[in-house]
Amino acid sequence: MTVTIERPKIRACIFDMDGLLINSEEIYTDVTNGVLKDHGKPILPWSVKADLQGRPGTESAARFLEWSQLPYTPEELYAIFTERLKPRWKNTAPMPGAVELLQNLKQKGVPIALATSSYKANYLLKSAHLDHLFGLFNEANKVMGDDSRIPKGRGKPEPDIWLVALATINANLPDHMEPIKPEECLIFEDGIPGVIGAKKAGCQVVWVPDPNILNVFADTKHEIVGEWGEILPSLDALDFAKYGL
């Protein structure tokens, strides 16, 4: 007999950024395909794209080079991407339902945090014109990929960034409130490495993948999110009541 453990009520929410809150993954894909075209290579397959999403910059570059065999070191390639991407970040825009979801959580008094693998310099470029979105997060609850509290080599798919973000929430709870446990935290992600890290952290997870990636992993999608995971087509499809929100 299979025993289903009831999900704990959600007390906090943590959000990835790229491809989840803003359309930056589209920009990454466009620039990446431009670099590939310069070297006479085919465009980036979605199966490879899925493995790169959410990983720290040079690690993502190293994995990309394993596939593409371009004549660069990870550091050289990361520098090339950084320069090509820099003028494009002014064009980032919120994903459907992102602003509304964050506003609703704030109105309900649900603590929220941001946990992005983007380094701080890139985060600032991507978010400078989107204060109506990123201004909904307290500064103390924004964790970037180069945060000193994340040990080197422990980016997504490891759980560290999620646990650091949760710690920032717990550090600012009123004295009378019990600390929020990982299983009481709902993580929102579009990338598979981030979903894996969320599960390792012991959190519940909502996966909002690009439809092309979901199509590639159609046969294993339920294994990816796990028992305490859900797949949504967009952030505006969240059922608040399901999570006790």
DSSP secondary structure of the chain? -PPPPPPPPP-EEEE--BTTTBTHHHHHHHHHHHHHHHTTPPPPPHHHHHHHTTS-HHHHHHHHHHHH--SS-HHHHHHHHHHHHGGGGGG--BPTTHHHHHHHHHHTT--EEEE-SS-HHHHHHHHTT-HHHHTTS-GGGEE-TT-TTS-TT--TTSSHHHHHHHHHHHTTS-TTSPPPPGGGEEEEESSHHHHHHHHHTT-EEEE---HHHHHHTTTTHHHHH-TTEEE-SSGGG--GGGGT-
**Positive or negative, the Cα torsion across 165, 171, 177, 179?**
positive
So what's the pLDDT on residue 84? 96
So what's the pLDDT on residue 4? 52
Nearest of 82, 70, 66 to residue 122 by alpha carbon: 82
Residue pair 184/10 in contact (Cβ under 8 Å)? The answer is yes
* Domains, in order of start, for the chain: 12-23+92-243 (3.40.50.1000), 24-89 (1.10.150.240)
So what's the pLDDT on residue 3? 47
User: How does pLDDT run along the chain (245 residues), one tens digit per residue?
Assistant: 444 567 899 999 999 999 999 999 999 999 999 999 999 999 999 999 998 888 877 888 999 999 999 999 999 999 999 999 999 999 999 999 999 999 999 999 999 999 999 999 999 999 999 999 999 999 999 999 999 999 988 999 999 999 999 999 999 998 889 999 999 999 999 999 999 999 999 999 999 999 999 999 999 999 999 999 999 999 999 999 999 88
The CA distances from residue 25 to 95, 129, 136, 182, 200, in Å, are 11, 17, 21, 27, 24
**Neighbour tally for 183: CB within 10 Å:** 17
So what's the pLDDT on residue 108? 95
So what's the pLDDT on residue 100? 97
**Positive or negative, the Cα torsion across 178, 236, 195, 33?**
negative
Instruction: Pull the structure tokens for residue 77.
Output: 């390639």
Q: What is the dihedral of CA 161, 224, 19, 148, to 10 degrees?
A: 10
Which residues are designated catalytic? Answer: 16, 18
**Neighbour tally for 229: CB within 10 Å:** 20
CA distance 144 to 147: 5
CA distance 157 to 174: 31
1 secondary structure, DSSP code? -
